Structure 1
């Protein structure tokens, strides 16, 4: 398969390396000339993956036309708030009805669209076949070939099977699904709950509180997902519960780290300024807060995370309000 990977961060570089090592004709698009030069000359991306050599066959360029030449499959791994721009940048180089694989998790803030909706809107003239790749994945572990399982959601069964075959390896196992909406919402909402879990851990609340947050977070995820057309069963799988557990408990989770630091009294802008990579949950919280109000879905955890992030609410007060809400059946 010829495939273009758009995005030279840790996840995009990892997926491009995986594809190239499997024998696919893989081209990686990066934004910075310096990153392109480094990968070409040293076979490393030192900013994100400093100690991992990349496949010799992996091509890299800053030129969209060169990356997209004769390509039918495009994998996008850029921060979700920039994915519309990435779609539009590559649109004129794409064939009619390209296969667009999205590895970005979130909700577009300006439009409140999911990643598949942004794709359909931005590439409406091309009629793309969309696939969503999501699940419990730390790039650090995948590039070290540690066992990982993910979900690929695609309504076009043929395209989904093609991508499943191209990406699957003995250490990277892919399950397919037709529930695009459920898979993409699970990947977005789990980042909000991970911020909450980080806050709870930072306040020293222990394993009981973390387990409660994960469980009730799954309820919120399923509630919004069903309201937007997703299948509740999807949220019990890798792209829902699996990703939620990883992001709420793993030290490599950027969103959990945001919560930990907020609990210690650091300001959000200072935290974000010091981070190398984007914590998608920060903007996703703002988007889901607005989306929740628009479609009238109860999401108390999301509301408290929003208040901590954007209204400077004391994390201890947020926890107290959650614990003293009106008692109800589970």
Structure 2
């Protein structure tokens, strides 16, 4: 039986801990707050993020990161992407030297423009062959309810990616392997930006034609950047691209779509942030993804418009008008 340390007891970190436990691992879940740890250990529930969902007894929680990491075969990181560098700077020396390090995060770091696997390698001095990512259409509440779902586990090392596949294959969760870490990470980060724009359309009262158009053009924008960074374009047609994009843009459970809806209804970014404890990664990553696209000469109109709305320089309605007003061209250009 493997021991897995999961750093981050939010909704996705907790739900993924359930996947690992269901597949046969013992899980030590690190939580920032001691009251969350007590709730998990005493009631086997994370009431703040996944209320009324019983957690497997193989999951225990601790506020002590060193205790969580001790003896772990696998270390899973599930914190907001823009806090990873700071957190990992404190945890790096605690990670066992042979442990596989897994990222659940979907973002690109502001400033450095690094993907999460690159931040991990940089901060903790870990060989990329020991770094894996998990991505796909994985809304945390549905995973926690054990509704059937599929995902992608990606790593450049074949042995490690198959090892992670085995550790996450349960009765309700089916993982597929990939070696395209770049494509998986870009797809996972960019879909949050597209979901914000779809949410704005919904908040403005527009229907399925509008949202389908934004989703499709969002996928094209994602693929342009991913391919420029060396990704396999087929990755973006699979679970890590289209699958994750559809789930995040279509579901009211999506934090990014919900954030976008509120923007479409007239709330400001500051008002939305103040009203929730959940993090909408796209609200931060839109700026870093836009800068990454510009660095590589990639046209990124959706990221550009979303960034302007987040900064208060453009209204949600202005984003939709700009989308239609762009110069016409061939679809495959």
Answer whether TM exceeds 0.5 for this pair. Answer: yes
2:155 corresponding residue in structure 1? 154
2:37 corresponding residue in structure 1? 36
Query: Per-residue deviation at 1:21?
Result: 3.2
Query: Per-residue deviation at 1:97?
Result: 4.1
Is residue 230 from structure 1 mapped to residue 234 from structure 2 by the alignment? Answer: no
Cα distance between partner residues in 2 of 1:168 and 1:90: 27
Summarize the Cα distance change of 1:326–1:226 in structure 2 as closer, same or farther, 3 Å threshold: same
Contact between 1:135 and 1:149, CA under 8 Å: does it hold in 2? yes
SS in 2 for 1:56: coil
Query: Per-residue deviation at 1:55?
Result: 1.2
Cα distance between partner residues in 2 of 1:59 and 1:239: 30
TM-score normalised according to structure 1 size: 0.97
Cα distance between partner residues in 1 of 2:165 and 2:128: 21
Is residue 221 from structure 1 mapped to residue 225 from structure 2 by the alignment? Answer: no
Is residue 320 from structure 1 mapped to residue 321 from structure 2 by the alignment? Answer: yes
2:177 corresponding residue in structure 1? 176
SS in 2 for 1:270: helix
Query: Per-residue deviation at 1:123?
Result: 1.4
Contact between 2:204 and 2:264, CA under 8 Å: does it hold in 1? yes
Cα distance between partner residues in 2 of 1:106 and 1:119: 13
Is residue 211 from structure 1 mapped to residue 221 from structure 2 by the alignment? Answer: no
1:124 corresponding residue in structure 2? 125
Cα distance between partner residues in 2 of 1:174 and 1:162: 11
Query: Where do 1:44-59 residues align within 5 Å?
Result: 44-59=45-60
Unaligned runs of 5+ residues in structure 1 are none
2:254 corresponding residue in structure 1? 253
Query: Where do 1:93-108 residues align within 5 Å?
Result: 93-108=94-109
**Residues matched between the structures, number:** 330
1:187 corresponding residue in structure 2? 188
SS in 2 for 1:19: helix
Contact between 1:96 and 1:126, CA under 8 Å: does it hold in 2? no
Summarize the Cα distance change of 1:321–1:21 in structure 2 as closer, same or farther, 3 Å threshold: closer
1:298 corresponding residue in structure 2? 299
1:203-241 residue CA offsets vs partner (Å, 9 max, x unmatched): 122110111111100000000001111111100000100
Contact between 2:155 and 2:180, CA under 8 Å: does it hold in 1? yes
SS in 2 for 1:92: helix
Contact between 1:97 and 1:128, CA under 8 Å: does it hold in 2? no
Query: Per-residue deviation at 1:312?
Result: 3.0
Moved beyond 4 Å, runs of 4+: 125-128
Cα distance between partner residues in 2 of 1:126 and 1:323: 45
| Higher mean C-alpha deviation, range 315-324 or range 236-245 | 315-324
Unaligned runs of 5+ residues in structure 2 are none
2:265 corresponding residue in structure 1? 264
Cα distance between partner residues in 1 of 2:64 and 2:10: 17
Cα distance between partner residues in 2 of 1:151 and 1:17: 17
1:176-217 residue CA offsets vs partner (Å, 9 max, x unmatched): 000000000000000000000011111122110111111100
Query: Per-residue deviation at 1:58?
Result: 1.3
Cα distance between partner residues in 1 of 2:211 and 2:80: 27
Contact between 1:109 and 1:287, CA under 8 Å: does it hold in 2? yes
